[in-house]
Structure 1
Amino acid sequence: MPTLICSCNETMPLDGAALSQAHGGPLKVHRLLCRREIGDFMAALDGTDDVIVACTQERHLFAEVAAQAARGDNGRPVVVAPVRFVNIRETGGWSQGAKRDPKTANAKIAALLAGAALPEPDPVPVVDYRSDGTVLVMGPPDRALPWAERLAAMSLEVTVLLTHGDIQVASAAAPAERAWPVHSGTLRALSGWLGAFEASWDTGAGRGNPIDLDLCTRCNACIEACPEHAIDFSYQIDMDRCRAHRDCVRACGAAAAIDFDRPAAVAGGRFDLVFDLNDTPAFTMHQPPQGYLHAGGAALRQQQQALALTQLVGEFEKPKFFRYKESLCAHGRNQTTGCTACIDICSTQAIRSQWHDGKGRIEVTPNLCMGCGACTTVCPSGAISYAYPGPEVLGTRLRTLLSAYRSAGGRDAVVLLHGEEAGTPAILALGRAARAGLAQGVPPNVMPVPVFHPASAGLELWLAALCWGAAHVAILLTGDQAPQYRTALQEQIDVARALLGGLGYKAGAVSLVEAADASSLDAGLAALRPARHGLPPAPFGAVAAKREMFDFALDHLVRYAPVPADIVPLPSAAPIGAVVVDTASCTLCMACVGACPTQALRDNPERPVLGFLERNCVQCGLCEKTCPEHAITLVPRLLTGEAARRTVTLNESHPFHCVRCAKPFGTAQMVESMLVRLAGHPAFAGAAAERLKMCPDCRVVDMMERDPGAISGATLR
C-alpha cells in the first residue's frame, strides 16, 4: 500500500530509515508533498491499492488532484487509486516532546501509519429521513411571526403556534395576507424526529387566547373597540389588561371569532421540522431529536438555528449505530424488571421497555439514536453493542497500533480515546499551539484514537488495550457530553481500577482527561503517568462479543498478576460477581433459575439443587428481585482461576415424598414453609392441611374419596 509522508517543510523530526523499517518497505520523507512534490502523489495514484497520505492539512487539495486525475486528459474517466488520510503532524510530530524524544515520536508515527493501512470496516445499515420542509414555528408572537415570514420567504411550508407566555402588546403583527396557518394555544405534546414530528396543542379561551385565529378575518374591529388596548395586531388578548367589557365580542359580530367561554379542545399536526422560539425548550433531554431546533430569544442563536433549519430539507441518512441481540438481554423476566442500564443512560430517550408474555426486552428507535454508544458501554451482557464501528474493528485497530508502536521501539504507550466531533479539533488546536511554542502538545507516547463518541468504548476494550501493550488508557471528555455519560464512564473506570489494583497492577492505568480547550488538554496529557507493569502482549484478538472479550482480558490479567488473588472485591457497577443465597430462607422454588437470562443459576433435574456458574453472571439483579423469600444477595467481585468456570451448589435439600404414594414432588423445605404459612388459614385445616403433603394426583384422589361431589380435579390441580 503506497504511503506518502511529509516533514511539512522540515518542521517534524521524521526518521525515514526507522519508519521504512517499521513500515516493512521503503518510505521517502517528502519536504513539501502538497507543493513542489505533488508529482509523487500523482504517480502513486496510478495503481489499485489505496494510497495513504500522512497529511490532513491539505486533504482537500489532494482530493481535488485525485478527482482531476480521474477525469483524464481527454475527458475520458481514468481509474485512480483510492486515497486515505492520517494526521501525524498535530497528533505528535509538532509536539515539544517529539524534539526531545524523536525515537518515540517516530514509533508513534509508524503506529499511526499501520492503523491507517487497516482495511476499511464493513458498511453498516443506514437510517433514512425525508423532510419536505414543513416547519412548525412555536413561540410568542413577537418572535414567531417575524421568523415565520422569513422562513416562508425561504420556501419553507410554515405553520405557526403562538404561545402565551410572553405576550407583548403591539410587538408583532400577523401578516395582512393569510399566507400560512396561525394557531394559538399551549403545547400539549411533541414527539418524533426529522421528517416525522407530531405536535398537539390545547386551544380554547381557558388556554390563553379567546380569539380563534382560524375564524378571525383580521378586520381589526376588536383592536379599535378594546378600551384597555389589550389586543395587538397578532390578535392575541393580553388577559392581564382585559377587564371583561366584551366590547371586542360585540365588535366582532357575525365573524364570531372571539369567545371568552370557548371550550378547550385539542388540535395538532405532523411536521418535518420544529423551530422553537420559546424560552423553555419542548425537549428537555441533553440531545433533542434531529430536526428540532431550539432558538429561544437570543437573536444570534435564532439566526444560526434558522440557517441550520434551511439545510434540513431533502433526503438524509445516518448509520444505524447499534446491534441488539434479545437473547442476551437482562432487562426482564417473569414480569420483573432487572437491568435498565441502557434506558437510564440514553440522552435522547431513544430506548424504551417492551414486554411480551412476561418477558422484557428493550426497543431502540433508530431515528432518535445519535450514536453515543453509552448504552453499549453500560450493558453488562453485550445484548446491545456498538456498530459504528463494531468493537471487533476498534479492538483490531488498538491492537495494531500498539503492536506497531512496540515493534518500532516505542515504550510506555498511552491510548487516548476521543470523540471525532469535539476531540479531534481540540487535538489539532493543541498541535498548532505546540508548533508555535505555546504548549507542549500531544506527548510522543500518546496515541490519539478517534471514535465517533468517547462513551462508545468501555471496560472490555480498555482492559484489552492494556493486555495488548498499552501502559495507560485515557478517555478524553470535552465538556459537551451528557452528564450521565461522565458518571457512567467514571463508574466503569472505578471497576477497572478495582480489578487492576486487586491484582497488583497500577490502579490508575485507566483515567478520564477532562479538557474544554487546548490549554487544559495540554495540562491533562502532561499529567498522565503511564506505568510499566511488565505485562506481556496478549495473544488474543478482538472479537465482537463483549463478554468474550472481557473474559479474554481478565484471563490474561489474572495469569500475569503481580499480586495473585483468588477474589477481588468490585464496585456495584461491575458486570461480574457472585450470588449469595440465604439457605435458611430459600425454599428452592427455582424462580431465580427461570429469571436468570444468562444461565448463571441452574437447577438439577434429578434432585433439588440450586447451582451457580459465576463466570456467566452479569449482576443484573433479576434473581434478587424475583426471589419470593428475599433470600438472594448480589456480590460484585472477580473470582479468578477455574473456580469461576465450575458450577457450585448454592443450596440443596432433600426431596419431599408424598405421604400417600411416596412419590417425590417438592423439597422438604418448600413444603414445610408452605405448612407454616397456611397453618392459620381456615381453608387448610384438618384433612386439607394433610393434602398439602400429597402430590397433585393424590390430592385429587383423596378429595374424591372424602367428598366426590365437592370439587373438580381441575380446581384441585
Structure 2
Amino acid sequence: MPTLICNCNQTMPLQPQALGAALDENLTLHSALCRREAGAFQKAIQSGDDVVVACTQETRLFAEVAQQTDGATSVIRFVNIRETGGWSKDAAQASPKIAALLALAHLPDAEPVPTVTYQSAGRLLIIGELDAAERAAELVADALDVTLFSLGAGQGGGVQERRYPVLAGKIKQLTGWLGAFELTWTRSNPIDLDLCTRCNACLSACPEGAIGFDYQIDSTLCKSHRDCVKACGMAGAIDFGREPQSLSEKFDLVLDLRATPAFTQHALPQGYFRWDGQDSRTLLQMRALVGEFEKPKFFNYRQKLCAHSRNEKIGCSACIDVCSASAISSDKSRQQIKVNPNLCVGCGACTTVCPSGAISYAYPRPAEQGAKIKTLLSTYARAGGRSAALLLHSQEAGTRLLGDLGRMARLDPATRGVPARVMPLGLFHTASSGLERWLSAVAYGASQVWVLMTDEEAPQYRQAVREQMDVAQAILAGLGYQGEHFRILDAKDARDLPALDAQLQAPAAQGVAQAAGFAVQADKRATLELALDHLMAQAPQSQVKVEVKAEVKAEVKAEEAIALPAASPLGGLAIDKDACTLCLSCVNACPASALQDNPDSLQLKFIEKNCVQCGLCVKTCPENALALLPQLRLTPQRKEAVVLNAMQPYACIRCSRPFGTLKAIEAMLGKLAGHAMFQGAAAERLKMCSDCRVIDIYSADNEVRISDIR
C-alpha cells in the first residue's frame, strides 16, 4: 500500500527514512503534494493499490484530482499527521508517533455489520401554536407533506387560510422514530376542524369571546348560549353533543415547537426535531430526510450472558440506566433486556458498563478496535517511542478540537500542541470504550489512557466512564504501577484549548516493562482476563506473584486482594455462615456460573473470576446471608472453585437418607413449631424425606380406614 507524505511547504520536520523503516517501505518526502507534485499522487492512484495520503487539509482537492485522473482505481485513505503532531512544539521527536498514525491507516477497513433501515415519505407533523407552526411549514412545505397540530392561535392571531391539515385536542402520547412516529390524542372540542371553513361567523356570534382564531372553544369562558351553532349554519362544524374521541395518526418526521418537548432523553429519536425559530440547519436536516436510510446495528446482545434478571429478581440494570436514547428497557416477561435498534444512536455506553459482556459494541467490533490500539502502540514502540499516552476522542467534535489545537500551536508560541507521545485515536463515540480496552492498552505498552469529552456526551456517560476509570486506576495502583493512568479531558470549543493544551502535557505514568502480544477477544471478560494476567505478571509489586496452597480458605487476606470501587465488574462474595442455610437459591440465580454446588456433598462453591458483581445472588438469598465484595484477588485461587460454606446433612428419621441440611431443617421446625397444622405426627413428617412423607401419610390414612371398618 503506497504511502505519500508531505511536509506541507517545509513546515514539518519529517524524517522519511525513519518513517519508512517503521513501515517497511521506501518513502519519498514531498513538500507540495497537493500542488506542484500532484503528479506523484496521480501515479500512485493509478497503481490499483490502496493509497495512504498523509494530509487531511486538502482532502477535497485530492478527490477532485482523482476524478480527473485517467485509470485512477485506487482507494485513497487520508490521515492527519500535521495538526496531530507535525506542528507541535516537539515535532522533531514525533517520528515514532507519525509512523504509528501511518501504520494505523494501513489497516483494512472494518468488516460490514448488519444495518437498520428507515423509510420516510416526508410526512411531517409540526406541533405548536398555529402562527409559529404556519411560518415553519412555509419553509419546508415544498419538500415535505405538512400537518399542523394546534396548541392555540398564538400571538399572530392564528391561521385564516387552510393551507395544511390542522389537528387539535389533547396530546396523550408521541412515540416512534424516523418513518414510524405515532401520535395519539383526544379530540373533545365541539368544533370539527375538518368541517370548519374559517368563515369566522362563530367568532362574531360568541358573546363571551370563547372562540379564538385556532377555532377551538374555551370551555372555561363558554356560557352555553350556543349562538355559534346557529351562526355556523350549513357548515355544521360545531356540535356540543359530540363524544370525545381518541385518535391516532402516523408521521415520518416531527418538528416540535413547544417549550416542553415530547422526548426528554439526551439523545432524541432520529426524525424528531426541536426548533427555536432561528437556526435554519434544523429545517435543512428535515428536508433531506425523505427516502430510505440505513445505519449500522451498533450492538450485539447475548441473553445467555445477561445478568439483568433471574427468578423475577432484577440484578444488573447498568445498561438501562446509562442509555441516553431510552433504547434499552427491561423485558420482565422474558427476564432480559430489550434493545430497540431504531432508537439506538451507537454511543456504546451500554457496552462499557455491562459487567458480563452480554451486550457488545459492533461498530467496529471489539477485535477490530483492539487491532487499531495494538497497531498504534506497537508501531510507536518499534519506532523508538516511549511512554505513549492513548488519547481517545470522537470522530467529529474531538477531531475538530485536536485540529484547532494543532493549528494554534503553529501560530501561538505559548501553545505546545499535541505532544509527540500522545497517540490520538478517533472513535464513533467516546463512551464505547471501557475497562477491558483501557487495561489492554496499558498491557500493550500505553503509559496512560485519556478520553477527550466534548458537549456531545450525556451526563450519565461521563459518570459511567469516570466510574470505570476509577476501577481501572485502583487495579493498577494496587498492582504497584505508579502515577495517574486514566483521565477524562474536557473541552467544548476554542475557549477550552489552552486548558486542553496544558492537560496534554501531563507527565507519563509507569507502564509495563514488556508489551503484551494477545489480541482483543469478542468476549469482554476474556479480554479483561488476558489484560489482567499480563498486568499481574508485569506488576512492580512482588506480592502479586505470591503462590498460595489450594487449601487456603475463602477469606482473603488484605495483601492478597485489591479493594475496588462499587462499580467494579470484578469481585468476590462475603457470606454470613451463621445465616446461610445452604438452600442454594443463589446457585440457581447466578448467570455467570460463579456460584456452584457440589453434587457429592452439601457445599457452596465460588469462582471469583466468573463473578460479574450483578447482585442477583444477594437479592435472591432468603436469609440475606450474602454481600458483594468488589475486589481483585491476586492469588491463583481467583480462578479456582473455593468452598464458601459447607454443612452437615440432615438424615430422614424414617429411612436415614440425607435430604437437606441440618440448619435448614432446624430453621423450618423452629418457624413452624407454633403452627396448628404442624403438630404431632405432622411435625414428625417434616423430619422425613419426600418419599417417606408420602408413605407415612398413606399408612396413617389406611390405619384410620381399618379402624372405621372395625
Secondary structure of the 1:429 match is helix
CA contact (8 A) 1:170 1:233 kept: no
Give the C-alpha shift of residue 243 in structure 1.
5.8
Matches within 5 A, 1:681-700: 681-700=675-694
Aligned to 2:557: none
Equivalent of 2:106, from 108, 111, 117?
A: 117
Matches within 5 A, 1:483-562: 483-527=459-503, 528-562=506-540
Matches within 5 A, 1:377-392: 377-392=352-367
CA contact (8 A) 1:323 1:385 kept: yes
Matches within 5 A, 1:138-153: 138-152=127-141
Counterparts of 1:431 and 1:413, CA distance in 2:
18
Provide Cα deviations, 1:562-592, integer angstroms capped at 9, x if missing partner.
2235200000000010011111111111110
Amino acid at match of 2:305: L
Counterparts of 1:239 and 1:11, CA distance in 2:
74
Secondary structure of the 1:637 match is strand
Amino acid at match of 2:678: F
Equivalent of 1:372, from 338, 347, 353?
A: 347
Report how many residues are paired: 686
Counterparts of 1:482 and 1:413, CA distance in 2:
28
Are positions 1:701 and 2:692 aligned together?
A: no
Provide Cα deviations, 1:187-233, integer angstroms capped at 9, x if missing partner.
1111111001111112213xxxx422123232221122134545343
Name stretches of at least 5 consecutive residues in structure 2 with no aligned partner.
Answer: 545-559, 706-710
Counterparts of 2:363 and 2:497, CA distance in 1:
26
Give the C-alpha shift of residue 247 in structure 1.
2.8
Amino acid at match of 2:520: A
CA contact (8 A) 2:405 2:501 kept: no
Are positions 1:25 and 2:9 aligned together?
A: no
Amino acid at match of 2:486: V
CA contact (8 A) 2:175 2:181 kept: yes
Equivalent of 1:168, from 154, 159, 174?
A: 154
Equivalent of 1:156, from 144, 153, 160?
A: 144
Are positions 1:290 and 2:279 aligned together?
A: no
Are positions 1:312 and 2:253 aligned together?
A: no
Amino acid at match of 1:106: S
Counterparts of 2:704 and 2:318, CA distance in 1:
52
Provide Cα deviations, 1:78-101, integer angstroms capped at 9, x if missing partner.
462211111101111111232xxx
CA contact (8 A) 1:514 1:521 kept: no
Counterparts of 1:629 and 1:674, CA distance in 2:
12
CA contact (8 A) 2:150 2:214 kept: no
Equivalent of 2:206, from 226, 235, 257?
A: 226
Matches within 5 A, 1:79-478: 80-98=73-91, 102-103=92-93, 105-152=94-141, 154-164=142-152, 167-168=153-154, 171-176=157-162, 179-205=163-189, 210-237=190-217, 245-259=225-239, 262-295=242-275, 298-301=276-279, 303-356=280-333, 360-437=335-412, 439-478=415-454
CA contact (8 A) 1:169 1:231 kept: no
RMSD: 1.9
Aligned to 1:585: 579
Give the C-alpha shift of residue 683 in structure 1.
0.8
Counterparts of 1:413 and 1:385, CA distance in 2:
27
CA contact (8 A) 1:505 1:533 kept: yes
CA contact (8 A) 1:170 1:232 kept: no
Aligned to 2:662: 668
Deviates more, 1:232-241 or 1:663-672: 232-241
Secondary structure of the 2:396 match is coil
Amino acid at match of 2:403: L
CA contact (8 A) 1:135 1:272 kept: yes
Amino acid at match of 2:524: K
CA contact (8 A) 2:483 2:509 kept: no
Provide TM-score, normalisation by structure 2: 0.93
Secondary structure of the 1:557 match is helix
Counterparts of 1:593 and 1:259, CA distance in 2:
66
Deviates more, 1:538-547 or 1:245-254: 245-254
Matches within 5 A, 1:552-631: 552-563=530-541, 564-565=543-544, 566-631=560-625
Secondary structure of the 1:625 match is helix
Give the C-alpha shift of residue 250 in structure 1.
3.0
CA contact (8 A) 1:441 1:522 kept: no
Provide Cα deviations, 1:546-567, integer angstroms capped at 9, x if missing partner.
1111111111111222223520
Secondary structure of the 2:696 match is helix
Counterparts of 1:244 and 1:620, CA distance in 2:
62
Aligned to 1:714: none
Give the C-alpha shift of residue 263 in structure 1.
3.8
CA contact (8 A) 1:500 1:507 kept: no
CA contact (8 A) 2:115 2:295 kept: yes
Counterparts of 1:337 and 1:620, CA distance in 2:
9
Give the C-alpha shift of residue 679 in structure 1.
1.0
Amino acid at match of 2:213: F
CA contact (8 A) 2:572 2:611 kept: yes
Provide Cα deviations, 1:219-261, integer angstroms capped at 9, x if missing partner.
2211221345453433234567656554323322454433456
Secondary structure of the 2:643 match is strand
Amino acid at match of 2:5: I
Provide TM-score, normalisation by structure 1: 0.92
Give the C-alpha shift of residue 522 in structure 1.
4.1
Give the C-alpha shift of residue 262 in structure 1.
4.5
Q: Structure 1 residues 106, 188: closer, same or farther in 2, change over 3 A?
A: same
Secondary structure of the 1:684 match is coil
CA contact (8 A) 1:198 1:268 kept: yes
Give the C-alpha shift of residue 351 in structure 1.
0.8
Provide Cα deviations, 1:502-537, integer angstroms capped at 9, x if missing partner.
111135211100111235244234332222345321
Q: Structure 1 residues 216, 710: closer, same or farther in 2, change over 3 A?
A: farther
Counterparts of 1:280 and 1:702, CA distance in 2:
70
Secondary structure of the 2:618 match is helix
Provide Cα deviations, 1:384-411, integer angstroms capped at 9, x if missing partner.
0001111211111111111111111112
Are positions 1:12 and 2:12 aligned together?
A: yes
Using the aligned pairs only, state the percent identity.
Answer: 52
Are positions 1:649 and 2:643 aligned together?
A: yes
Amino acid at match of 2:104: G
Q: Structure 1 residues 49, 168: closer, same or farther in 2, change over 3 A?
A: closer
Amino acid at match of 1:87: N
Aligned to 2:547: none
Amino acid at match of 1:159: T
CA contact (8 A) 1:5 1:53 kept: yes
Structure 1: which 4+ aligned runs deviate by more than 6 Å? none
Counterparts of 1:429 and 1:240, CA distance in 2:
58
CA contact (8 A) 2:445 2:512 kept: no
Counterparts of 2:571 and 2:483, CA distance in 1:
19
Secondary structure of the 1:494 match is helix
Aligned to 1:75: none
Counterparts of 2:523 and 2:246, CA distance in 1:
49
Give the C-alpha shift of residue 66 in structure 1.
2.1
Matches within 5 A, 1:14-53: 14-53=14-53
Provide Cα deviations, 1:1-46, integer angstroms capped at 9, x if missing partner.
1000000111111012211221212111100001111110111113
Amino acid at match of 1:119: P
Counterparts of 1:709 and 1:60, CA distance in 2:
99
Counterparts of 1:326 and 1:688, CA distance in 2:
44
Q: Structure 1 residues 460, 169: closer, same or farther in 2, change over 3 A?
A: closer
Secondary structure of the 1:455 match is helix
Counterparts of 1:169 and 1:532, CA distance in 2:
65
Q: Structure 1 residues 240, 279: closer, same or farther in 2, change over 3 A?
A: farther
Deviates more, 1:388-397 or 1:526-535: 526-535
